[in-house]
């Protein structure tokens, strides 16, 4: 009787171990599928807005009372170093990308093109990747003289502000375009 009880207990332990292993395997598979699916939902294929103004890296465009110019685009280690130097306020945690991703940081100069205040939000900047998908800004910082303007989402007349915007992108994707979507026409900065 004791042997039978031990055999049943051993069989039950093996069955439980197999069930737990199956659950872990299914959970891992579900996470992998969900992560890819979520990434595709969060980063839809890019559709170019019309009308738009096309410029290149370093050129500026004025649209909807705002002058917009992308000065530099960095990714990987360079982006992390630039972000560390700009992010002196520790407003955001250091950029620690999730596995399979990196951060791209753009340096954009924005200025009011009118005599009054101009609305500006970094969330209206889209990075278009080499995969044709849209990536939305995660974080933004500015030089010290403009941090209040960035926080208020309004730029005062007369001055330009350097804004650094971070985007999380997959490791195998390169920045291809930067689009400022809130202006009419939209400003499209071609990087390639």
Residue 144 is given by DSSP the state G
CA 136, 138, 140 angle in degrees (round to 5)? 115
Is 38 inside any structural domain?
A: yes
User: According to the model, what pLDDT value does residue 121 have?
Assistant: 84
Low-confidence stretches of the chain (pLDDT < 70) are: 1-2, 22, 24-41, 77, 80, 83-95
User: According to the model, what pLDDT value does residue 106 have?
Assistant: 92
The C-alpha atoms of residue 78 and residue 143 are separated, in whole angstroms, by 18
User: According to the model, what pLDDT value does residue 39 have?
Assistant: 52
User: According to the model, what pLDDT value does residue 135 have?
Assistant: 95
Query: Of 138, 157, 126, nearest to 46 (Cα)?
Result: 126
- Domain span at residue 18 reads 1-42
pLDDT digits (tens, 9 = 90+) for 170-180: 999 999 999 99
Pair (131, 76) in one structural domain: yes
Pair (59, 30) in one structural domain: no
Is 47 inside any structural domain?
A: no
Q: Count up the domains in the chain and report the number.
A: 2
Query: Of 140, 144, 154, nearest to 106 (Cα)?
Result: 140
Do the Cβ atoms of 70 and 57 come closer than 8 Å?
yes
Pair (37, 57) in one structural domain: no
Pair (174, 80) in one structural domain: yes
């Amino acid at each position: 009787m004791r042997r039978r009880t031990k055999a049943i207990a051993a069989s039950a332990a093996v069955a439980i171990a197999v069930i737990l292993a199956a659950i872990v395997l299914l959970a891992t598979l579900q996470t992998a599928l969900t992560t890819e699916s979520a990434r595709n939902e969060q980063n839809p294929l890019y559709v170019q807005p019309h009308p738009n103004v096309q410029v290149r890296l370093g050129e500026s465009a004025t649209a909807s009372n705002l002058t917009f110019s992308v000065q530099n685009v960095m990714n990987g280690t360079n982006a992390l170093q630039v972000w560390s130097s700009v992010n002196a306020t520790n407003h955001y945690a250091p950029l620690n990308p999730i596995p399979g991703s990196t951060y791209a940081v753009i340096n954009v100069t924005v200025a009011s093109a009118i005599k009054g205040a101009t609305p500006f939000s970094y969330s209206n900047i889209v990075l278009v990747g080499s995969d044709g998908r849209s990536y939305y800004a995660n974080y933004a910082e500015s030089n010290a003289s403009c941090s209040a303007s960035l926080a208020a989402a309004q730029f005062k007349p007369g001055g330009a502000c350097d804004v650094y915007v971070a985007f999380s992108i997959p490791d195998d994707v390169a920045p291809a375009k930067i689009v400022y979507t809130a202006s009419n026409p939209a400003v499209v900065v071609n990087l390639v």
